[in-house]
Structure 1
Amino acid sequence: MSEHNRSFKRVVLKLSGEALREVGSQDNISPEIVGRIALEIKAAHASGIEIAIVVGGGNFWRGASASARGMDRATADYVGMMATVMNALAVQSALEVEGVPCVVQSAIEMKNVAEPFIRRKASRHLSDGRVVIFAAGTGSPFFSTDTTSALRASEMGACAILKATMVDGVYNADPKKDPDAVRYEQVSFRRCLSDQLAVMDSTAFSLCMDNNVPIIVFDLNEHGNITKAIEGEEIGTIVCNED
């Protein structure tokens, strides 16, 4: 995929848990922020694009941090998976308020609040015009929600992963620390891995690279960017197999 050839039929939108939380607030989820995100998704959904969402849980819990403080890593990761379910339900509620049909599928069975993840059923939901939110990560510990988005995008045959972040793309250095950092318009998976550019973890990168799923990294904070990214407008940085 080149910078000037973005055309999406089906996408996976990756939202961090922190994106749902207002900076400095004591609340883990901001209904106002989730509502804004839902409005942007609604605008893109109205154009007929099939949209799946993977949401993180970092506004509630980070398994790796808890593990570093002595908690069993697998248990800590399972707690984190529960956090993603809470976020998924919040996003689902906001989308339904806006009249967008939406289904939550969980990789860990919790039939009272979500469908179990079934690949063929999820694909059919997308084809029928429903937004599908994938919750509880991969269902296994030691995998990030970035890896979940790479896995689900590959399973769903998505055209791209849209990774909403706190910066406007991928840089050759940390732009917060280096004023001379340069933003890439397009960069290869191999360069990201070799230069250790912090976009996704190596497992997620490898899945995307092997299955030829490009990643669009863009700034979540600018209003309208989610809609633009889903509709294929040229924003952020494309990470793909092309050099």
Structure 2
Amino acid sequence: MKYKRILLKLSGESLMGERQYGIDNNRVLQYAHDIKTVFDAGIEIAVVVGGGNIFRGLSAEKSGMERAQADYMGMLATVINCMALQSALEGIGVETRLQSAIKMEQICEPYIRRRAMTHLETGRIVIFGAGTGNPYFTTDTAASLRAIEIKADVVLKGTRVDGIYTADPEKDPTATRYDEISFAEVYAKGLNVMDMTAITLCQENKLPIIVFDMNKAGNFERIANGEAIGTLVR
């Protein structure tokens, strides 16, 4: 396998599957099996999950809700998604630990960097919930930050499309996909890869990002094997 330690970022929307809202258990189980395949190959895996399928702070702000309050609600939504993924993984025999940036002692551990790294080294998948624990930061930023903290080799962003395009491929049929792109080009072209705070963190710490289609079974394993799947940002 190409990587020793991976940070996988899943959007909340990806957990909806074909639904319009909430969690599609079949999609979560598919993700769990894909993650287990890579985990069984000896790769250490941490996961950050978004919450947009349940609640999105920015959308709530536009409707009049105070931004910080809305963002905290979004953080709680991510923990619900993390619990769903944890349940699916443990249901197929994978030992996990859920750590939250907001303390919730009854359901998960508080985020402690050294403890997270010990879990990874011991042979557990670590799932990070509640973003960074701070409003005004996205779960993309949380993924970049946690990846840097745990010394991951790469951030893999699993989405519904197979990479980064010149435009939204779901809206523009003429959009073309990049196989590889630099951080500087992402800035210059204003591409919607991750938010700019997340991109800056990865650029400054020389941490590559791969954007790929997580909905296609086996793609996660192919990337872990070193295949050129999706778009590489470095």
Specify the TM-score bucket, using the shorter chain as the normaliser: over 0.9
Counterpart in 2 of 1:99? Answer: 93
Alignment equivalent of 2:134, drawn from 137, 140, 143 = 140
CA contact 1:9–1:49 (8 Å) conserved in 2: yes
Whether 1:187 aligns to 2:191 is no
Counterpart in 2 of 1:210? Answer: 204
Looking at structure 2, the residues matched to 231 and 109 of structure 1 have their Cα atoms a distance apart, in angstroms, of 36
Runs of 4+ more than 4 Å apart: none
Alignment equivalent of 1:67, drawn from 54, 61, 69 = 61
How do 1:1-243 residues align onto structure 2 when only pairs under 5 Å count?
7-25=2-20, 28-240=22-234
TM-score, reference length from structure 1: 0.93
CA contact 2:18–2:24 (8 Å) conserved in 1: no
Looking at structure 1, the residues matched to 101 and 112 of structure 2 have their Cα atoms a distance apart, in angstroms, of 9
TM-score, reference length from structure 2: 0.96
Looking at structure 2, the residues matched to 180 and 19 of structure 1 have their Cα atoms a distance apart, in angstroms, of 24
Give the Å deviation of 1:25: 4.9
Give the Å deviation of 1:136: 0.4
5+ residue gaps in structure 2? none
Q: In percent, how many aligned pairs have the same letter?
A: 53
Looking at structure 2, the residues matched to 34 and 214 of structure 1 have their Cα atoms a distance apart, in angstroms, of 25
Amino acid of the structure 1 residue aligned with 2:6: V
5+ residue gaps in structure 1? 1-5
Looking at structure 2, the residues matched to 75 and 230 of structure 1 have their Cα atoms a distance apart, in angstroms, of 38
Superposition RMSD on alpha carbons, in Å?
1.3
Equivalent pairs, count: 234
Comparing 170-179 with 11-20, which one deviates more in the overlay?
170-179
CA contact 1:162–1:230 (8 Å) conserved in 2: no
Looking at structure 2, the residues matched to 231 and 105 of structure 1 have their Cα atoms a distance apart, in angstroms, of 28
The residue matched to 2:226 in structure 1 has which SS?
Answer: coil
CA contact 1:49–1:231 (8 Å) conserved in 2: no
